[in-house]
Chains A and B, each alone.
Chain A
Amino acid sequence: MSEHILSTCGLTMRFGGVTAVDNVDFNLRDGELRCLLGPNGAGKSTFFKCLTGQLTPTEGKVTFSGQDITGALTHDIVKKGVGIKTQVPNVFDGITAYENVRLSARRKHLKPMAKELTMKTLERCGITHLAKREVGLLSHGQRQLVELAMVLAGEPKLILLDEPAAGMTGDERDRLAQLVLESARSAAVVVVEHDMAFIRQIAKFVTVFNRGAIFREAMIDDIMQDREVQEIYLGKQANAA
């Protein structure tokens, strides 16, 4: 039990007649890097929202670090050590990238330490040159990096990344892959991504969602070979890649 930093038991989220997350038992070891795949509408983002208190699951239980966090408030869950980059970037548009990241670092740290951590994180994410720019005016890929920096500056024990590579240039994506691998040394990471080139750079163990339920869990190579998985999802990309 305690070796799992995150586990869900029978997690279900229904919207009226739609079951977006269907009886999911998901277990993540401390320090593990997991990729979460699945076709559009498979329920990946909804699953993340249930984990972070943005949605209250209809049924089931979420345990983080041995504590029941089902239905807890978002900020309380985050304070326990969960950081999330959402699919649609949630950043503070009207203020600078620096201030965006600093507000994240400042929650746990005193001013000077927060400043230092902010500079370090901007550097790590390769966006020091964007520090003084208003985030609302940045490109999609740059905003993704700012949001990632905000997540990392919160020093979470569990990092959830929902389609972090979307809108990124090749260089930005390579850096992102490095960052994810690096972060996985000090935290557990779950990455949702459609970009197969990116997935190949980082993936080891993979969970595939389909129609809200876990369809397959296996090593990436096996997943790539899996006929049924290809049918539901990878088909086109696997052939193209």
Chain B
Amino acid sequence: MEKPVTRDPGFYVMVAIGLAVMFIAPVMLDLFTIMQITQYVVLSVFALSLGYIWGFGGILSFGQAAFFGLGAYTFAVASINMGSTTIPMVLAFIIPTIFGAALGYFMFYGRLSDVYLGVVTLVVALIFWKLINHTAGPEYAIGEARLGGFNGIPSIPTLHIPGDPGAWLDPGQMFQVFMGFLIVVYVALRFLIASDFGRVSVGIRENETRASLLGYDVRKQKVIVFAIGGGIAGVAGAMWATYQAFIDPNSVSMEMSAKALVWVMAGGVGTLVGPIIGCILLQWLTLQLGTVDVVNSIAVLGAIMMVLVLALPKGIVPTTQSLLLGGYILWKRNHGSAMPGKAVKE
């Protein structure tokens, strides 16, 4: 963790993989597959939002979908009214960030314990879901955008080139732009986590009492982390809205919040790659299971989750890392050179 990001080979590998996928996939794959993996990209951004606040701020939110949905609805309403998507995309970051700051202020300055924090985030998402479900009537409209209740909002504009609302992105371009978003979010988070702000957050995750005994304001720090996570989830929601051209209350549902938790837990709390891998793997699995009609995919997902937690309690990525490190040590030993020592691994 002390190595600067710029000196971590893993960081460059990840970015290179991201860029490679971004540029090669549209050339290699057919349209249908591209549209499929665009989903994974969007949800990966969502997974990162929770992976960040949980893994690097010690904040376990059971209602991360509230921000995802808020971003989605913000984008939908703003883009339908404005006829453009650029500013709505920015709003889909800003409004959930502000909402996250406000909710975080209430929770952290109110000194809620972790359990209540989980409950409050869950309840907020539920309330949000309820509220939106009740907006089916025509009287629930913001400008030209009817909220549509459980029917959702259709005809959400497709992303276009900034400043030129006529220049819609085709699915290949949309995929590339979203990959760009994912890479930017990943890189930004890596730098944020490696900054002194990020290290204090990690300290708080490790031991809140000590952090405050060193003179750091734990509450303030957590509000900021929570708000940033909210903003990222909001952007993911907006990406989801424009990708589907449609949004409904499912985006705020418990299932959505739970999925994010499962991805992060499966991939590995305390890494950024983990949530992405967890998301892609489990979404892919869900999709495969969905084609088999005999079983309820949610139930199977739950079972997989339980197996993962029992077999790989630290998650896929950290377990792989330690296996690789263990293998490396063995290999070194067999080749007669010294062990890499007990230095802390990344």
The answer to whether B216 touches A75 (Cβ under 8 A) is yes
Neighbour of A75 across the interface among B1, B2, B205, B215, CB < 8 A: B215
A120 proximal to B (CB < 8 A): no
Neighbour of A95 across the interface among B202, B209, B343, CB < 8 A: B202
The answer to whether B206 touches A95 (Cβ under 8 A) is yes
Alpha-carbon gap, A99 to B196, bound state (A): 11
Neighbour of B209 across the interface among A86, A104, A137, CB < 8 A: A86
Alpha-carbon gap, A92 to B214, bound state (A): 11
Given A90-B209, A103-B199, A103-B203, verify A154-B215 contact (CB < 8 Å): yes
Cβ of B207: which chain A residues have Cβ within 8 Å of it? Answer: 90-93
Alpha-carbon gap, A111 to B217, bound state (A): 19
Q: Mark B196-232, 1 if CB is under 8 A from A, else 0.
A: 1001101101110111111111100000000000000
Min Cβ gap A6→B in Å is: 17
Cβ of B342: which chain A residues have Cβ within 8 Å of it? Answer: 132-134, 137
The answer to whether B1 touches A78 (Cβ under 8 A) is no
The answer to whether B344 touches A96 (Cβ under 8 A) is yes
Given A95-B344, A96-B344, A99-B199, verify A90-B215 contact (CB < 8 Å): no
The answer to whether B343 touches A90 (Cβ under 8 A) is no
The answer to whether A78 touches B212 (Cβ under 8 A) is yes
Alpha-carbon gap, A139 to B278, bound state (A): 35
Cβ of B1: which chain A residues have Cβ within 8 Å of it? Answer: 95-96, 99
Given A103-B199, A107-B215, A107-B216, verify A92-B206 contact (CB < 8 Å): yes
Chain B interface residue count, Cβ-Cβ cutoff 8 angstroms: 24
Cβ of B210: which chain A residues have Cβ within 8 Å of it? Answer: 90-92, 150
Cβ of B200: which chain A residues have Cβ within 8 Å of it? Answer: 103
The answer to whether B213 touches A74 (Cβ under 8 A) is yes
The answer to whether A74 touches B206 (Cβ under 8 A) is no
Cβ of B206: which chain A residues have Cβ within 8 Å of it? Answer: 92-95
The answer to whether B213 touches A84 (Cβ under 8 A) is yes
Min Cβ gap B111→A in Å is: 10
In residues 104-156 of chain A, which contact B (Cβ within 8 Å)?
104, 106-107, 111, 132-134, 137, 150, 154
The answer to whether A54 touches B209 (Cβ under 8 A) is yes
Min Cβ gap A104→B in Å is: 5
Which of B210, B212, B213 is the most central at the interface, judged by chain A CB atoms within 10 Å of its CB? B213
Cβ of A54: which chain B residues have Cβ within 8 Å of it? Answer: 209
A79 proximal to B (CB < 8 A): yes
The answer to whether A90 touches B213 (Cβ under 8 A) is yes
The answer to whether B215 touches A79 (Cβ under 8 A) is yes
Cβ of A94: which chain B residues have Cβ within 8 Å of it? Answer: 202, 205-206
The answer to whether B214 touches A107 (Cβ under 8 A) is yes
Alpha-carbon gap, A95 to B214, bound state (A): 16
Please give me the residue from chain A that is nearest to B200 by CB atom. Answer: A103
In residues 166-220 of chain B, which contact A (Cβ within 8 Å)?
196, 199-200, 202-203, 205-207, 209-218
A64 proximal to B (CB < 8 A): no
Min Cβ gap B5→A in Å is: 15
Alpha-carbon gap, A170 to B210, bound state (A): 27
Min Cβ gap B246→A in Å is: 42
Cβ of B216: which chain A residues have Cβ within 8 Å of it? Answer: 75, 107
Alpha-carbon gap, A75 to B218, bound state (A): 8
The answer to whether B209 touches A98 (Cβ under 8 A) is no
Cβ of A91: which chain B residues have Cβ within 8 Å of it? Answer: 207, 210
Q: Mark A61-82, 1 if CB is under 8 A from B, else 0.
A: 0000000000001110011000
Given A86-B209, A95-B203, verify A104-B344 contact (CB < 8 Å): no
Cβ of B341: which chain A residues have Cβ within 8 Å of it? Answer: 132
The answer to whether A134 touches B217 (Cβ under 8 A) is no
Min Cβ gap B288→A in Å is: 35
Min Cβ gap A51→B in Å is: 12
Q: Using CB atoms and an 8 Å cutoff, list the residues of chain B in contact with chain A.
A: 1-2, 196, 199-200, 202-203, 205-207, 209-218, 341-344
**Please, could you name 25 A-B residue pairs with CB atoms under 8 Å apart, sorted by A?**
A73-B212, A74-B213, A75-B216, A75-B217, A75-B218, A79-B215, A90-B210, A91-B210, A93-B207, A95-B1, A95-B203, A95-B206, A96-B1, A98-B2, A99-B2, A103-B200, A103-B203, A104-B214, A132-B342, A132-B343, A132-B344, A137-B342, A150-B214, A154-B214, A154-B215
Known: A103-B199, A111-B196. 4 other contacts (CB 8 A): A73-B217, A75-B212, A90-B210, A107-B214
Q: Using CB atoms and an 8 Å cutoff, list the residues of chain A in contact with chain B.
A: 52, 54, 73-75, 78-79, 83-84, 86, 90-96, 98-99, 103-104, 106-107, 111, 132-134, 137, 150, 154
Give 10 nearest A-B pairs by CB, closest first: A92-B206, A78-B215, A90-B210, A74-B212, A132-B343, A134-B344, A75-B212, A79-B215, A90-B209, A104-B214
